[in-house]
Amino acid sequence: MRRVAICGFSMCKVGNHYQKSLSELFAEVALDALESAGNPDIDAIYVGNMSASEHTFQKNLGVLLSNSIGLNSTPCKLVECADGSGGAALYEGYNSVASGLYDVVIVGGVEKMSEVLQGENRKIRSMTIEQEYEAFHGLSIDGEFAIIMRYYMHYYDVPKRQFALFAVQMHKHAAGNRYAKLPYEISLEAALNMQTIADPLTLFDMAPTGDGSAAVVLCPLERAREFTDTPVEIAGAGQASDTLALYDRKNILTFKATSKAAEIALKTSKLKISDVDLFEVHDSYTISGFLALEDLGVIERGKVGQAVEEGLIDLDGPAPTNLSGGLKARGHPGGATGVYQAVEATLQLRGEAGKNQADPAEVALIQNAAGIGSLVTVHVFKRI
Amino acid sequence: MRRVAICGFSMCKVGNHYQKSLSELFAEVALDALESAGNPDIDAIYVGNMSASEHTFQKNLGVLLSNSIGLNSTPCKLVECADGSGGAALYEGYNSVASGLYDVVIVGGVEKMSEVLQGENRKIRSMTIEQEYEAFHGLSIDGEFAIIMRYYMHYYDVPKRQFALFAVQMHKHAAGNRYAKLPYEISLEAALNMQTIADPLTLFDMAPTGDGSAAVVLCPLERAREFTDTPVEIAGAGQASDTLALYDRKNILTFKATSKAAEIALKTSKLKISDVDLFEVHDSYTISGFLALEDLGVIERGKVGQAVEEGLIDLDGPAPTNLSGGLKARGHPGGATGVYQAVEATLQLRGEAGKNQADPAEVALIQNAAGIGSLVTVHVFKRI
């Protein structure tokens, strides 16, 4: 397998882009990413998207997107794994270059979730959980995470305050990120008094959906200097799945696909979790942020909240996490989220993350999950 | 790149499988395909599906399907390119083995389209065309093919009778295929007097949708004999896209993605179109069957109808085509169709096609298209 590098990237602010269509949102960012790599010829396009079928009624979205950047015959592969689509698209793109199938590919993530009624949005978000039994009988994605959070609080004897602290921290990071949907700080008091959505989940335990578009250009590492002076290596990638249904799990306090995917990615990159300088994890809910840090082995089980309070994931802490603001405050544009993580890790490793720049920033790990962790993709990035 | 073989396969009859869920439909066929290959360990699953989001509200379908065959951590990649999904999934699976990324993979196509109201079915079928302008202003997939067919009739001075003859021929083939949805012959008179759907299209110019599931197991050719005594080689694969919108095309009487995909697939397999003994082409409408045969270079432009009447695509004709009955009479289970074509080609090359067995059957070519040919995948199969 060949070594792979990121030689171009771009993203737009997560928000409500009412004035742009899905293909316009993709095209702007993809063309900008290609320009940042010196406009190379590209062999294929991989795109993560979760809900174009619902939001724009468009099947075969890949072709619309390749058309939108003027590539009318380049294969464009749409990858749909719920809100894990972005990471999964990156994984396919990475493998296509690593295996020698393609030389230069663009991986995009695009999602437009703002233009539907709230009820429709709720329904679409819950399409990420198992439908034949769980959703059929009325469970929602919020409900499933409320069950997991409630059990976590009970099992480890953890108060809601610890989850609120995580949300406060995410907003603190987002305040320094101009691409964030919610770029402002919130007080612990506000987080503690937020309205309940599905007890014990409050609104501040949930990541806001949004419109967004992000893209990276991949090439073989040995050719990266043709396209950019500051390439970043994708040193490892791993993917694993779990049961789609929560009722099928022996233990709901771990997303074991995270551990397995991270194990594969770290093994490929010949690195240990302790070598990682910064993390972007999939905190679609505060509880999923907690489980990610535990399943990656960053912190002991049941201790995330306490560690967050003690500065674990601060910019200058031992394990800076979601310096972008995470899904919670940068925003969660569904199938684009995993590609946002890739762009943010790239910015950090290039030393271009502005106010939120971590130091050192030699190795970054990103983790993108679908639904209740039923498919997880992990990538390890390395400064060259 | 390594050579790739099919070492296992299965399919079910296309029809209305009301008694089975989408995952049950997939699991039965996938397990049967795996058994036919001696139950090998598999590295990944590729699945073509077009409309699970609409028909079962399931996102992240890949995980449900891998769970359904007891593989709770094997990556399952869902490929969605409208009704070209099956061929596109096969293409990704083929490339993953050819490039050395994986050794043994299963490629499935599954679709359940029967359990929605007719209006919903119409809407879903039209999600395969461009939405932002064409569908938005009221065009349907039937409407777009009616435009193409009308222009074809005008341009080449061809009567509707020639299209009816193609439909009659498809039913003649389906009568010998126990997996067909419509396994009976129809008269030319019936076809000529069928009700109009979108002038000049009649009901008999259109392929019926249906529930279906098909699967093939792929492995490196050099290992194929470990799994089966009669492997079939996938000697070449090609994929190309075109504009998603009909209004963007310079010439609507050719699906140029078909020509380009076939050119790539034939070049890889070091074969010429004249070496092909039998074809399975994407006749989602009689007119798309016509264009496929022309774009592949089987017959001169404008001459398909006449050639069909003279026996071109008969079982004992010079270019036996859609011996399964094609999409028209075998049935068109959306994203599963491309994998059905692969199973049918495999049966033919193994000499197991029963009443419809072609002779000789050394080389087969299958062509699967999305919507109005906006993405086309072509595979060339070879007897070993």
Please give the ipTM for the structure prediction. Answer: 0.92
Contact B66 A99 (CB under 8 A): no
| A to B CB pairs, distance under 8 Å | 173
Chain B residues with beta carbon closer than 8 angstroms to that of A74:
241
Percent of chain A residues past pLDDT 70, beyond the cut: 100
What are the pLDDT digits (tens) for B316-354? 999 999 999 999 999 999 999 999 999 999 999 999 999
Contact B73 A240 (CB under 8 A): yes
Interior CA angle at B128 toward B124 and B132, to 5°? 100
Q: Find which of A63, A124, A247, A264 to mutate to test the B interface (most B CBs within 10 Å of its CB).
A: A63
Mean pLDDT of B250-257: 97
Contact B88 A74 (CB under 8 A): no
With CA atoms as reference, report the closest residue to B176 among B345, B34, B383, B323.
Answer: B323
Q: Are A112 and A364 in contact (CB under 8 A)?
A: no
Contact B241 A82 (CB under 8 A): no
Mean pLDDT of B109-138: 90
Strand partners, A76: A45
What are the pLDDT digits (tens) for A314-339? 999 999 999 999 999 999 999 999 99
Give the distance from residue A279's alpha carbon to the nearest chain B alpha carbon, in angstroms.
23
Confidence (pLDDT) at B301: 98
Contact A63 B248 (CB under 8 A): no
What are the pLDDT digits (tens) for A245-277? 999 999 999 999 999 999 999 999 999 999 999
Give the distance from residue B262's alpha carbon to the nearest chain A alpha carbon, in angstroms.
13
Mean pLDDT of B185-214: 96
Give the distance from residue A118's alpha carbon to the nearest chain B alpha carbon, in angstroms.
17
Confidence (pLDDT) at B115: 78
Q: Indicate the average pLDDT of chain B.
A: 96
Mean pLDDT of A204-227: 97
- Burial (0-12, 13-18, 19+ Cβ within 10 Å), B73: middle
Contact A53 B127 (CB under 8 A): yes
More confident residue, A237 or A76: A237
Confidence (pLDDT) at A118: 77
What are the pLDDT digits (tens) for A282-320? 999 999 999 999 999 999 999 999 999 999 999 999 999
Percent of chain B residues past pLDDT 90, beyond the cut: 94
Strands B278-280 and B363-370: parallel
Q: What are phi and psi of B241, to 5 degrees?
A: -115, 170
Confidence (pLDDT) at B114: 87
Confidence (pLDDT) at B382: 98
Percent of chain A residues past pLDDT 90, beyond the cut: 94
What are the pLDDT digits (tens) for A362-372? 999 999 999 99
Q: Are A352 and A228 in contact (CB under 8 A)?
A: no
Give the distance from residue B84's alpha carbon to the nearest chain A alpha carbon, in angstroms.
8
Structure token pair of residue A184: 């402002």
pLDDT over 90 at A349, yes or no: yes
What are the pLDDT digits (tens) for B39-52? 999 999 999 999 99
Of the listed ranges A58-62, B81-85, B112-116, the least confidently predicted one is B112-116
pLDDT over 90 at B119, yes or no: no
**Distance (Å, rounded) from C-alpha A325 to C-alpha A283?**
10
With CA atoms as reference, report the closest residue to A196 among A117, A128, A143.
Answer: A143
pLDDT over 80 at A157, yes or no: yes
Mean pLDDT of B179-186: 98
Give the distance from residue B353's alpha carbon to the nearest chain A alpha carbon, in angstroms.
32
What are the pLDDT digits (tens) for A6-51? 999 999 999 999 999 999 999 999 999 999 999 999 999 999 999 9
Q: Model confidence at A85, in pLDDT bands (50, 70, 90)?
A: very high
Whole-prediction pTM:
0.95
Chain B residues with beta carbon closer than 8 angstroms to that of A92:
77, 92
pLDDT over 80 at B118, yes or no: no
Strand partners, B212: B111
Confidence (pLDDT) at B88: 97
Contact A21 B374 (CB under 8 A): no
pLDDT over 80 at A78, yes or no: yes
Dihedral sign for Cα B35, B36, B40, B42, please. Answer: negative
With CA atoms as reference, report the closest residue to A45 among A22, A69, A71, A77.
Answer: A77
Structure token pair of residue B82: 């409208």
Chain B residues with beta carbon closer than 8 angstroms to that of A244:
60, 63-64, 67
Confidence (pLDDT) at B241: 92
Contact B244 A82 (CB under 8 A): no
Confidence (pLDDT) at B331: 98
Strands A105-111 and A212-220: antiparallel
Omega before B208 within 30 of 0, i.e. cis:
no
Between helix A286-295 and helix A141-156 the angle, nearest 10°, is: 60
What are the pLDDT digits (tens) for A116-135? 777 888 889 999 999 989 99
Strand partners, A337: none
Confidence (pLDDT) at B72: 85
Chain A residues with beta carbon closer than 8 angstroms to that of B260:
73
* B100: closest chain A residue by CA: A99
Confidence (pLDDT) at A114: 87
Confidence (pLDDT) at B73: 84
**B283 CB contacts (<8 Å, ≥6 apart)?**
B166, B170, B207, B289, B292, B322, B326, B327, B328
Give the distance from residue A116's alpha carbon to the nearest chain B alpha carbon, in angstroms.
16
Q: How many residues does chain A have?
A: 384
Contact B73 A23 (CB under 8 A): no
Q: Which CATH architecture has domain A4-116+208-383?
A: 3-Layer(aba) Sandwich (3.40)
Contact A58 B127 (CB under 8 A): yes
